[in-house]
Structure 1
Protein backbone atom coordinates (compact mmCIF):
# COMPACT_ATOMS: atom_id res chain seq x y z
CA UNK A 1 0.00 0.00 0.00
CA UNK A 2 2.49 2.53 -1.25
CA UNK A 3 -0.34 5.01 -1.80
CA UNK A 4 -0.92 5.46 1.94
CA UNK A 5 2.81 5.90 2.53
CA UNK A 6 2.98 8.50 -0.25
CA UNK A 7 -0.01 10.48 1.02
CA UNK A 8 1.44 10.40 4.53
CA UNK A 9 4.74 11.82 3.24
CA UNK A 10 2.95 14.52 1.27
CA UNK A 11 0.79 15.52 4.24
CA UNK A 12 3.76 15.78 6.55
CA UNK A 13 5.73 19.01 6.95
CA UNK A 14 7.73 19.44 3.72
CA UNK A 15 11.28 19.70 5.01
CA UNK A 16 14.12 20.41 2.58
CA UNK A 17 15.02 16.72 2.23
CA UNK A 18 11.72 16.04 0.46
CA UNK A 19 13.01 17.78 -2.68
CA UNK A 20 15.82 15.21 -2.95
CA UNK A 21 13.23 12.52 -3.76
CA UNK A 22 11.44 14.18 -6.66
CA UNK A 23 11.58 11.26 -9.10
CA UNK A 24 10.63 8.70 -6.44
CA UNK A 25 7.58 10.71 -5.40
CA UNK A 26 6.41 11.24 -8.98
CA UNK A 27 6.84 7.52 -9.71
CA UNK A 28 4.91 6.58 -6.55
CA UNK A 29 1.98 8.74 -7.65
CA UNK A 30 1.27 6.25 -10.46
CA UNK A 31 -0.34 3.78 -8.08
CA UNK A 32 -2.28 0.98 -9.82
CA UNK A 33 -5.21 1.29 -7.40
CA UNK A 34 -5.98 4.81 -8.66
CA UNK A 35 -8.11 5.69 -11.66
CA UNK A 36 -6.34 7.44 -14.58
CA UNK A 37 -7.98 10.72 -13.53
CA UNK A 38 -6.83 10.44 -9.93
CA UNK A 39 -3.34 9.37 -11.05
CA UNK A 40 -3.08 12.49 -13.19
CA UNK A 41 -4.29 14.67 -10.31
CA UNK A 42 -1.89 13.16 -7.79
CA UNK A 43 1.02 13.36 -10.22
CA UNK A 44 0.12 17.00 -10.80
CA UNK A 45 0.09 17.65 -7.05
CA UNK A 46 3.53 16.09 -6.59
CA UNK A 47 5.00 17.86 -9.62
CA UNK A 48 3.66 21.24 -8.51
CA UNK A 49 5.08 20.67 -5.03
CA UNK A 50 8.49 19.69 -6.39
CA UNK A 51 8.56 22.65 -8.78
CA UNK A 52 7.83 25.12 -5.99
CA UNK A 53 10.28 26.84 -3.68
CA UNK A 54 10.68 24.81 -0.44
CA UNK A 55 10.35 27.84 1.81
CA UNK A 56 7.13 28.87 0.08
CA UNK A 57 5.64 25.40 0.50
CA UNK A 58 6.75 25.19 4.11
CA UNK A 59 5.04 28.49 4.87
CA UNK A 60 1.93 27.30 3.05
CA UNK A 61 1.87 24.07 5.07
CA UNK A 62 2.17 25.95 8.37
CA UNK A 63 -0.55 28.38 7.33
CA UNK A 64 -2.93 25.53 6.54
CA UNK A 65 -2.23 22.94 9.21
CA UNK A 66 -0.61 24.77 12.10
CA UNK A 67 -2.83 27.81 12.60
CA UNK A 68 -6.02 27.01 14.42
CA UNK A 69 -7.52 23.62 15.10
CA UNK A 70 -9.89 23.20 12.18
CA UNK A 71 -7.20 21.70 9.92
CA UNK A 72 -5.22 19.89 12.60
CA UNK A 73 -3.62 16.63 11.49
CA UNK A 74 -4.03 15.25 15.01
CA UNK A 75 -7.07 13.02 14.56
CA UNK A 76 -8.15 12.80 18.19
CA UNK A 77 -8.24 16.57 18.50
CA UNK A 78 -11.27 16.54 16.21
CA UNK A 79 -12.96 13.81 18.26
CA UNK A 80 -12.03 14.40 21.88
CA UNK A 81 -10.64 17.94 22.01
CA UNK A 82 -8.79 18.29 25.31
CA UNK A 83 -11.01 15.88 27.22
CA UNK A 84 -9.65 12.96 29.25
CA UNK A 85 -11.01 10.56 26.65
CA UNK A 86 -8.21 11.67 24.38
CA UNK A 87 -5.64 10.18 26.76
CA UNK A 88 -7.43 6.82 26.70
CA UNK A 89 -7.59 6.90 22.90
CA UNK A 90 -3.86 7.67 22.76
CA UNK A 91 -3.11 4.72 25.02
CA UNK A 92 -5.23 2.38 22.89
CA UNK A 93 -3.49 3.53 19.72
CA UNK A 94 0.00 3.24 21.21
CA UNK A 95 -0.80 -0.28 22.37
CA UNK A 96 -1.96 -1.23 18.86
CA UNK A 97 1.31 0.07 17.43
CA UNK A 98 3.36 -1.88 19.96
CA UNK A 99 1.36 -5.08 19.50
CA UNK A 100 2.25 -5.00 15.81
CA UNK A 101 5.92 -4.13 16.24
CA UNK A 102 5.57 -0.52 15.12
CA UNK A 103 7.96 1.59 17.18
CA UNK A 104 7.69 5.36 17.15
CA UNK A 105 11.09 6.82 16.40
CA UNK A 106 9.90 10.42 16.10
CA UNK A 107 8.45 12.90 18.54
CA UNK A 108 5.00 12.94 17.00
CA UNK A 109 1.82 12.10 18.84
CA UNK A 110 0.42 8.69 17.82
CA UNK A 111 -2.72 10.21 16.26
CA UNK A 112 -0.73 12.42 13.85
CA UNK A 113 -2.27 11.51 10.49
CA UNK A 114 0.98 11.08 8.47
CA UNK A 115 2.22 8.72 11.20
CA UNK A 116 -1.05 6.77 11.19
CA UNK A 117 -0.78 6.41 7.42
CA UNK A 118 2.78 5.12 7.65
CA UNK A 119 1.57 2.45 10.08
CA UNK A 120 -1.41 1.52 7.91
CA UNK A 121 0.80 1.21 4.84
CA UNK A 122 2.42 -1.76 6.61
CA UNK A 123 -0.84 -3.47 7.57
CA UNK A 124 -3.17 -5.75 5.56
CA UNK A 125 -5.47 -3.98 3.09
CA UNK A 126 -8.71 -4.83 4.91
CA UNK A 127 -7.34 -3.57 8.20
CA UNK A 128 -6.11 -0.32 6.66
CA UNK A 129 -9.50 0.31 5.08
CA UNK A 130 -11.22 -0.47 8.38
CA UNK A 131 -9.09 2.13 10.17
CA UNK A 132 -9.70 4.75 7.52
CA UNK A 133 -13.40 3.96 7.59
CA UNK A 134 -13.42 4.84 11.30
CA UNK A 135 -11.73 8.19 10.63
CA UNK A 136 -13.51 8.96 7.36
CA UNK A 137 -15.81 11.53 8.95
CA UNK A 138 -12.71 13.49 10.01
CA UNK A 139 -10.87 12.98 6.72
CA UNK A 140 -13.86 14.22 4.72
CA UNK A 141 -14.18 17.20 7.06
CA UNK A 142 -10.53 18.05 6.39
CA UNK A 143 -11.09 17.56 2.65
CA UNK A 144 -14.03 19.95 2.68
CA UNK A 145 -12.22 22.56 4.74
CA UNK A 146 -9.12 22.37 2.54
CA UNK A 147 -11.27 22.79 -0.58
CA UNK A 148 -13.07 25.75 1.01
CA UNK A 149 -9.65 27.35 1.54
CA UNK A 150 -8.76 26.56 -2.09
CA UNK A 151 -5.87 24.36 -1.02
CA UNK A 152 -4.45 21.67 -3.28
CA UNK A 153 -4.14 19.46 -0.19
CA UNK A 154 -7.87 18.74 -0.48
CA UNK A 155 -6.99 16.12 -3.08
CA UNK A 156 -4.97 14.06 -0.60
CA UNK A 157 -7.85 13.87 1.87
CA UNK A 158 -10.28 12.97 -0.89
CA UNK A 159 -8.01 10.10 -1.96
CA UNK A 160 -7.90 8.80 1.61
CA UNK A 161 -11.68 8.94 1.91
CA UNK A 162 -12.06 7.04 -1.36
CA UNK A 163 -9.49 4.45 -0.28
CA UNK A 164 -11.64 3.46 2.70
CA UNK A 165 -14.27 2.22 0.26
CA UNK A 166 -17.21 3.50 2.29
CA UNK A 167 -20.09 5.67 1.12
CA UNK A 168 -19.10 9.29 0.67
CA UNK A 169 -20.67 12.06 2.74
CA UNK A 170 -18.42 14.73 1.27
CA UNK A 171 -21.08 16.79 -0.49
CA UNK A 172 -23.09 17.19 2.72
CA UNK A 173 -19.98 18.17 4.65
CA UNK A 174 -18.99 20.70 1.99
CA UNK A 175 -22.35 22.44 2.34
CA UNK A 176 -21.89 22.63 6.11
CA UNK A 177 -18.32 23.85 5.92
CA UNK A 178 -19.24 26.61 3.45
CA UNK A 179 -20.81 28.58 6.30
CA UNK A 180 -18.17 27.78 8.87
CA UNK A 181 -16.24 30.57 10.56
CA UNK A 182 -12.49 30.47 9.88
CA UNK A 183 -10.26 29.85 12.87
CA UNK A 184 -6.96 30.85 11.22
CA UNK A 185 -7.53 34.61 11.06
CA UNK A 186 -5.54 36.85 13.45
CA UNK A 187 -8.69 37.52 15.46
CA UNK A 188 -9.66 33.88 15.66
CA UNK A 189 -6.16 32.78 16.62
CA UNK A 190 -6.46 34.84 19.77
CA UNK A 191 -9.46 32.75 20.79
CA UNK A 192 -8.95 29.34 19.20
CA UNK A 193 -6.87 27.84 22.01
CA UNK A 194 -9.58 28.40 24.57
CA UNK A 195 -10.72 25.12 26.08
CA UNK A 196 -13.34 23.39 23.93
CA UNK A 197 -14.93 19.96 23.90
CA UNK A 198 -15.48 18.48 20.47
CA UNK A 199 -16.26 21.14 17.89
CA UNK A 200 -14.02 23.99 16.92
CA UNK A 201 -14.62 27.49 15.58
CA UNK A 202 -17.42 29.91 16.22
CA UNK A 203 -19.77 27.80 14.12
CA UNK A 204 -19.08 24.12 13.67
CA UNK A 205 -20.52 22.13 10.76
CA UNK A 206 -23.45 19.82 11.31
CA UNK A 207 -21.17 16.78 11.29
CA UNK A 208 -20.96 14.36 14.18
CA UNK A 209 -17.32 13.88 15.20
CA UNK A 210 -18.11 11.32 17.87
CA UNK A 211 -15.94 8.21 17.50
CA UNK A 212 -17.59 5.01 16.25
CA UNK A 213 -18.76 2.54 18.89
CA UNK A 214 -16.53 -0.21 17.48
CA UNK A 215 -12.77 0.28 17.51
CA UNK A 216 -10.71 -0.25 14.35
CA UNK A 217 -9.32 -3.70 13.71
CA UNK A 218 -6.45 -4.58 16.04
CA UNK A 219 -7.22 -1.89 18.62
CA UNK A 220 -8.30 -2.81 22.13
CA UNK A 221 -9.14 -0.75 25.17
CA UNK A 222 -6.20 -0.31 27.49
CA UNK A 223 -7.42 -0.47 31.07
CA UNK A 224 -6.19 2.27 33.38
CA UNK A 225 -5.42 1.36 36.94
CA UNK A 226 -6.89 3.63 39.56
CA UNK A 227 -4.22 5.21 41.75
CA UNK A 228 -4.66 4.80 45.49
CA UNK A 229 -3.55 7.19 48.11
Structure 2
Protein backbone atom coordinates (compact mmCIF):
# COMPACT_ATOMS: atom_id res chain seq x y z
CA UNK A 1 0.00 0.00 0.00
CA UNK A 2 1.47 3.34 -1.08
CA UNK A 3 0.43 5.26 2.03
CA UNK A 4 2.50 2.89 4.20
CA UNK A 5 5.52 3.63 2.03
CA UNK A 6 4.90 7.37 2.37
CA UNK A 7 4.60 7.12 6.16
CA UNK A 8 7.84 5.13 6.17
CA UNK A 9 9.57 7.95 4.28
CA UNK A 10 8.14 10.62 6.59
CA UNK A 11 9.46 8.78 9.67
CA UNK A 12 12.90 8.26 8.16
CA UNK A 13 15.71 10.80 8.37
CA UNK A 14 14.76 13.79 6.15
CA UNK A 15 16.86 14.39 3.05
CA UNK A 16 16.83 16.26 -0.26
CA UNK A 17 15.29 13.36 -2.17
CA UNK A 18 12.29 13.38 0.14
CA UNK A 19 11.71 17.08 -0.48
CA UNK A 20 11.76 16.52 -4.22
CA UNK A 21 8.90 14.02 -3.91
CA UNK A 22 6.43 16.37 -2.23
CA UNK A 23 3.92 16.40 -5.09
CA UNK A 24 3.77 12.61 -5.19
CA UNK A 25 3.49 12.42 -1.40
CA UNK A 26 0.62 14.91 -1.37
CA UNK A 27 -1.22 12.91 -4.04
CA UNK A 28 -0.80 9.59 -2.23
CA UNK A 29 -2.05 11.06 1.04
CA UNK A 30 -5.10 12.53 -0.75
CA UNK A 31 -5.91 9.16 -2.39
CA UNK A 32 -5.26 7.05 0.72
CA UNK A 33 -7.97 5.21 2.69
CA UNK A 34 -7.30 7.40 5.73
CA UNK A 35 -10.10 9.47 7.22
CA UNK A 36 -10.46 13.13 6.27
CA UNK A 37 -9.11 14.14 9.68
CA UNK A 38 -5.95 12.06 9.28
CA UNK A 39 -5.40 13.22 5.71
CA UNK A 40 -5.67 16.84 6.82
CA UNK A 41 -3.22 16.33 9.68
CA UNK A 42 -0.70 14.56 7.43
CA UNK A 43 -1.05 17.16 4.68
CA UNK A 44 -0.40 19.90 7.25
CA UNK A 45 2.66 18.00 8.50
CA UNK A 46 4.07 17.72 4.98
CA UNK A 47 3.36 21.36 4.15
CA UNK A 48 4.95 22.62 7.35
CA UNK A 49 8.01 20.39 7.22
CA UNK A 50 8.73 20.74 3.53
CA UNK A 51 8.39 24.53 3.66
CA UNK A 52 11.11 24.89 6.30
CA UNK A 53 14.88 24.54 6.17
CA UNK A 54 16.09 20.96 5.73
CA UNK A 55 18.90 21.39 8.26
CA UNK A 56 16.43 22.62 10.88
CA UNK A 57 14.21 19.61 10.23
CA UNK A 58 17.18 17.24 10.49
CA UNK A 59 18.28 18.85 13.73
CA UNK A 60 14.82 18.50 15.26
CA UNK A 61 14.60 14.91 14.04
CA UNK A 62 17.86 14.08 15.80
CA UNK A 63 16.65 15.77 18.96
CA UNK A 64 13.43 13.76 18.99
CA UNK A 65 14.42 10.30 17.86
CA UNK A 66 18.16 10.04 18.49
CA UNK A 67 18.32 11.37 22.06
CA UNK A 68 17.03 9.03 24.71
CA UNK A 69 14.99 5.85 24.37
CA UNK A 70 11.43 6.96 24.96
CA UNK A 71 10.96 8.05 21.32
CA UNK A 72 13.21 5.43 19.78
CA UNK A 73 12.11 4.27 16.34
CA UNK A 74 13.43 0.78 17.13
CA UNK A 75 10.40 -1.37 17.94
CA UNK A 76 12.18 -3.86 20.18
CA UNK A 77 13.58 -1.04 22.31
CA UNK A 78 10.06 -0.62 23.66
CA UNK A 79 9.43 -4.34 24.10
CA UNK A 80 12.67 -5.96 25.19
CA UNK A 81 14.86 -3.03 26.20
CA UNK A 82 18.40 -4.33 26.65
CA UNK A 83 17.42 -7.91 27.48
CA UNK A 84 18.78 -10.93 25.61
CA UNK A 85 15.35 -11.53 24.13
CA UNK A 86 15.98 -8.55 21.88
CA UNK A 87 18.72 -10.32 19.96
CA UNK A 88 16.58 -13.33 19.11
CA UNK A 89 13.68 -11.07 18.16
CA UNK A 90 16.02 -9.27 15.72
CA UNK A 91 17.03 -12.56 14.15
CA UNK A 92 13.41 -13.66 13.80
CA UNK A 93 12.39 -10.42 12.13
CA UNK A 94 15.38 -10.52 9.79
CA UNK A 95 14.40 -14.05 8.76
CA UNK A 96 10.88 -12.82 8.08
CA UNK A 97 12.25 -10.17 5.73
CA UNK A 98 14.41 -12.72 3.93
CA UNK A 99 11.50 -15.14 3.51
CA UNK A 100 9.57 -12.33 1.83
CA UNK A 101 12.50 -11.68 -0.51
CA UNK A 102 13.55 -8.38 1.05
CA UNK A 103 17.30 -7.87 1.08
CA UNK A 104 18.43 -5.27 3.57
CA UNK A 105 21.11 -2.88 2.35
CA UNK A 106 21.42 0.29 4.45
CA UNK A 107 22.68 0.71 7.98
CA UNK A 108 19.56 0.13 10.02
CA UNK A 109 18.43 -2.53 12.44
CA UNK A 110 15.51 -4.70 11.26
CA UNK A 111 13.12 -3.30 13.87
CA UNK A 112 13.61 0.28 12.66
CA UNK A 113 10.02 1.46 12.12
CA UNK A 114 10.53 3.01 8.64
CA UNK A 115 12.12 -0.27 7.48
CA UNK A 116 9.33 -2.34 9.03
CA UNK A 117 6.77 -0.16 7.25
CA UNK A 118 8.59 -0.51 3.94
CA UNK A 119 8.41 -4.28 4.37
CA UNK A 120 4.71 -4.23 5.25
CA UNK A 121 3.95 -2.00 2.28
CA UNK A 122 4.95 -4.89 -0.03
CA UNK A 123 2.84 -7.54 1.69
CA UNK A 124 -0.72 -6.66 0.70
CA UNK A 125 -3.39 -4.70 2.56
CA UNK A 126 -4.43 -7.47 4.96
CA UNK A 127 -0.86 -8.26 6.00
CA UNK A 128 -0.17 -4.55 6.37
CA UNK A 129 -3.08 -4.26 8.76
CA UNK A 130 -1.97 -7.34 10.72
CA UNK A 131 1.59 -6.05 10.97
CA UNK A 132 0.45 -2.68 12.26
CA UNK A 133 -2.04 -4.30 14.60
CA UNK A 134 0.79 -6.17 16.32
CA UNK A 135 2.72 -2.96 17.05
CA UNK A 136 -0.27 -0.70 17.70
CA UNK A 137 0.59 -0.53 21.41
CA UNK A 138 4.04 0.86 20.54
CA UNK A 139 2.63 3.32 18.01
CA UNK A 140 0.14 4.56 20.62
CA UNK A 141 2.93 5.02 23.14
CA UNK A 142 4.99 7.01 20.63
CA UNK A 143 1.97 9.09 19.58
CA UNK A 144 1.25 10.04 23.20
CA UNK A 145 4.87 10.94 23.90
CA UNK A 146 5.09 13.03 20.73
CA UNK A 147 1.92 14.84 21.75
CA UNK A 148 3.49 15.45 25.16
CA UNK A 149 6.41 17.19 23.41
CA UNK A 150 4.08 19.14 21.09
CA UNK A 151 5.58 17.45 18.03
CA UNK A 152 3.65 17.25 14.79
CA UNK A 153 5.20 13.81 14.21
CA UNK A 154 2.28 12.57 16.30
CA UNK A 155 0.19 12.93 13.12
CA UNK A 156 2.23 10.18 11.45
CA UNK A 157 1.75 7.80 14.40
CA UNK A 158 -1.98 8.50 14.49
CA UNK A 159 -2.22 7.71 10.78
CA UNK A 160 -0.48 4.37 11.36
CA UNK A 161 -2.82 3.58 14.25
CA UNK A 162 -5.80 4.25 12.02
CA UNK A 163 -4.43 1.95 9.33
CA UNK A 164 -4.00 -0.79 11.95
CA UNK A 165 -7.72 -0.74 12.70
CA UNK A 166 -6.96 -1.11 16.41
CA UNK A 167 -8.98 0.94 18.88
CA UNK A 168 -6.49 2.12 21.49
CA UNK A 169 -7.52 4.09 24.56
CA UNK A 170 -5.07 6.95 24.08
CA UNK A 171 -6.44 8.65 27.17
CA UNK A 172 -5.20 5.72 29.23
CA UNK A 173 -1.81 5.81 27.50
CA UNK A 174 -1.49 9.54 28.12
CA UNK A 175 -2.29 8.96 31.78
CA UNK A 176 0.37 6.25 32.03
CA UNK A 177 3.11 8.53 30.71
CA UNK A 178 1.95 11.74 32.40
CA UNK A 179 4.66 11.58 35.06
CA UNK A 180 7.42 10.05 32.99
CA UNK A 181 10.87 11.48 33.51
CA UNK A 182 12.40 12.95 30.35
CA UNK A 183 15.28 10.80 29.11
CA UNK A 184 16.76 13.28 26.63
CA UNK A 185 18.45 15.53 29.18
CA UNK A 186 22.24 15.68 29.43
CA UNK A 187 22.19 13.83 32.74
CA UNK A 188 20.07 10.96 31.44
CA UNK A 189 22.05 10.71 28.21
CA UNK A 190 25.28 10.44 30.20
CA UNK A 191 23.82 7.43 31.97
CA UNK A 192 23.05 5.77 28.64
CA UNK A 193 26.63 6.20 27.41
CA UNK A 194 27.81 4.30 30.47
CA UNK A 195 25.82 1.23 29.46
CA UNK A 196 27.11 -1.41 27.08
CA UNK A 197 25.72 -1.33 23.55
CA UNK A 198 23.49 -4.27 22.64
CA UNK A 199 24.79 -6.50 19.84
CA UNK A 200 23.13 -9.42 18.12
CA UNK A 201 24.01 -12.10 15.64
CA UNK A 202 27.38 -13.70 14.89
CA UNK A 203 28.77 -10.57 13.24
CA UNK A 204 28.00 -7.70 15.58
CA UNK A 205 30.40 -5.41 13.71
CA UNK A 206 28.55 -5.72 10.42
CA UNK A 207 26.99 -2.84 8.58
CA UNK A 208 23.61 -3.55 10.08
CA UNK A 209 20.45 -3.58 8.04
CA UNK A 210 18.79 -1.49 5.43
CA UNK A 211 15.99 -0.97 3.07
CA UNK A 212 15.98 -0.53 -0.60
CA UNK A 213 18.62 -2.63 -2.31
CA UNK A 214 16.58 -5.61 -3.49
CA UNK A 215 12.79 -5.65 -3.40
CA UNK A 216 10.53 -8.71 -3.18
CA UNK A 217 9.50 -10.28 -6.47
CA UNK A 218 5.82 -10.46 -7.36
CA UNK A 219 5.65 -14.04 -6.08
CA UNK A 220 7.20 -12.99 -2.79
CA UNK A 221 5.30 -9.80 -2.14
CA UNK A 222 2.12 -11.13 -0.57
CA UNK A 223 1.04 -13.70 1.98
CA UNK A 224 4.56 -14.01 3.31
CA UNK A 225 3.79 -12.27 6.58
CA UNK A 226 4.41 -14.29 9.75
CA UNK A 227 3.28 -12.64 13.01
CA UNK A 228 5.95 -11.58 15.47
CA UNK A 229 5.18 -11.88 19.18
CA UNK A 230 4.95 -8.40 20.66
CA UNK A 231 4.19 -7.27 24.21
CA UNK A 232 1.04 -5.28 24.96
CA UNK A 233 0.95 -1.57 25.78
CA UNK A 234 0.97 -2.20 29.54
CA UNK A 235 4.07 -4.38 29.30
CA UNK A 236 5.85 -1.81 27.14
CA UNK A 237 5.02 1.06 29.49
CA UNK A 238 5.97 -0.95 32.58
CA UNK A 239 9.29 -2.03 31.05
CA UNK A 240 10.29 1.55 30.32
CA UNK A 241 9.03 2.77 33.69
CA UNK A 242 11.25 0.20 35.42
CA UNK A 243 14.25 1.27 33.35
CA UNK A 244 13.64 4.89 34.31
CA UNK A 245 13.65 4.16 38.06
Same fold by TM-score greater than 0.5 = yes
Runs of 4+ in 1 over 4 A off after TM superposition: 193-196
Q: Determine the structure 2 residue equivalent to 1:91.
A: 91
Query: C-alpha distance in 2, partners of 1:26/1:175?
Result: 34
- Count of aligned positions: 201
Please state whether the residue corresponding to 1:207 is helix, strand or coil: helix
Q: 1:138/1:104 Cα in 2 relative to 1: closer, same or farther (>3 Å)?
A: same
* Separation of aligned partners in 2, 1:18 and 1:110: 21
The 8 Å contact of residues 183 and 192 in structure 1, kept in 2 or not, is answered as no
Deviates more, 1:31-40 or 1:130-139: 31-40
**1:74 match:** 74
Q: Which residue of 2 aligns with 1:46?
A: 46
- Per-residue CA deviations over 1:201-226 (Å, capped at 9, x if unaligned) read xxxxx83229xxxxxxxxxxxxxxxx
Aligned partner of 1:151 in structure 2 is 151
**2: CA distance between counterparts of 1:182 and 1:6?**
30
| SS of residue paired to 2:142 | helix
Deviation at 1:194, TM superposition (A): 5.3
Which residue in 1 is equivalent to 2:204? none
Q: Per the alignment, in what secondary structure is the counterpart of residue 46 of structure 1?
A: helix
Correspondence for 1:209 among 236, 239, 242: 236
Native 8 Å contact 1:65 1:73 kept in 2 = yes
TM-score between both structures, scaled by the size of structure 2: 0.78
Q: Look up the match of 1:60.
A: 60
- Please report how far the alpha carbon of residue 4 of structure 1 lies from its aligned counterpart in structure 2 after TM superposition: 0.8
> Which residue matches 1:160?
160
1:20 is aligned to 2:47: no
Deviation at 1:21, TM superposition (A): 1.5
More deviation, 146-155/165-174: 165-174
Equivalent pair of 1:69/1:192 in contact (CA under 8 Å): no
1:77-122: per-residue Cα shift (whole Å, max 9, x none)? 1111121111111111111111111111211110000000000001
For structure 1, list consecutive stretches of 5 or more residues without a partner in the other structure. Answer: 197-205, 211-229
Structure 2: gaps (5+ residues): 197-232, 238-245
**Match in the other structure for 1:129:** 129
Q: Could you tell me how far 1:195 is from its partner in structure 2?
A: 4.9
Question: Partners in 2 of 1:22 and 1:162 — Cα distance?
Answer: 22
Which of 184-193 and 152-161 deviates more?
184-193
Other-structure match for 2:191: 191
Relative to structure 1, the CA distance from residue 115 to residue 29 in structure 2 (aligned partners, 3 Å threshold; closer, same or farther) is: same
Structure 1 length-normalised TM: 0.83
Work out the CA distance in 2 between the residues paired with 1:40 and 1:29: 9
Whole-Å Cα distance in 2 between the matches of residues 55 and 163 of structure 1? 30
Cα distance in 1 between the residues matched to 2:189 and 2:2: 36
Q: Secondary structure at the match of 2:184?
A: coil
> For the Cα contact (< 8 Å) 1:146–1:152, is it kept in 2?
yes
Deviations 1:109-156 (A, max 9, x none): 100000000000011222111111111111100000000000000111
Write the distance in 2 (CA, Å) between the matches of 1:25 and 1:44. 12
Are the aligned partners of 2:34 and 2:163 in contact in 1 as well (CA < 8 Å)?
no
Superposition RMSD in Å: 1.7
